[in-house]
Amino acid sequence: MTVKKIENNDNSTNVHQRIIDGASKLFLTKGIKCVRMDDIAHELGVSKRTIYEHFADKDQLLRTCLVHLHRYTSDKVLEHLRANSRNTLDVILTMYEVYFAIMNNVNKQFFIDLQKLPEIKQNNDRRERLNQHKFRHLMRQGIEEGLFREDINLDVLTYILHHDLKLITLEQQFENQSPEELGKAFILFYLRGIATEKGQKIIEEFIDKLNEKKNKE
């Protein structure tokens, strides 16, 4: 997500979007609490007045940025799915791959700060419940496709996956581990454990591709 300096001849729509892009970048890399409107103005090379012409205050800007980030993540997932999706397990693995790739550029303080903003946390929790519902649907499809064991409890599994995923990505003791390594451990420990032999082969192929990609970097 690159940020371009705002030029004087940019139209209002471009300015609006670039403010969102610039603010999103700062919120993600520095956290929410410590980012001031002055910092955003400096990052974009504009006056605070320009920002206030588009957003009433920092709260409104933050809410807009969160919607933008959610759409950005969804678009990235869809982009990968069009190129790689063959079955339900591919969909799930792609979702995790995109998630951990994005997490690589996110300061954990961003998520910590989100938890301290009640109304925003409430909206975020609502979105997470919707995502969990979608995930359960994918798991059911995976069972029907013979990729996951039939005896798994989807409600328990979804709860564990969701909360442990948040734990390993936010826990300070994993600070020195890259999101990609955490993601690989998560996939091997959880998804491989509930996969059938058919599903395990797909997961092994996916992990091999991740390792090959890392070795080329």
Structural domain spans, the chain? 1-66, 85-216
Read off the amino acid at residue 33.
K
Q: Options 1.10.3470, 3.10.350, 1.20.58, 1.10.357; which CATH number does 85-216 get?
A: 1.10.357
Could you read off the pLDDT of 35-86 as tens digits, one per residue? Answer: 999 999 999 999 999 999 999 999 999 999 999 988 888 877 777 676 667 7
Contact (CB, 8 A) for 110 and 28: yes
- Model confidence at 4, pLDDT cuts 50, 70, 90, reads very low
Could you read off the pLDDT of 110-166 as tens digits, one per residue? Answer: 888 888 888 887 887 888 888 888 888 889 999 999 999 999 999 888 888 877 777
73 vs 44: CA distance, rounded Å: 23
Of residues 202 and 105, which shows the higher confidence score? 202
pTM of the model: 0.73
Assess whether pLDDT exceeds 80 at residue 9: no
Q: Determine the topology of domain 1-66 in CATH.
A: Arc Repressor Mutant, subunit A (1.10.10)
Of residues 202 and 179, which shows the higher confidence score? 202
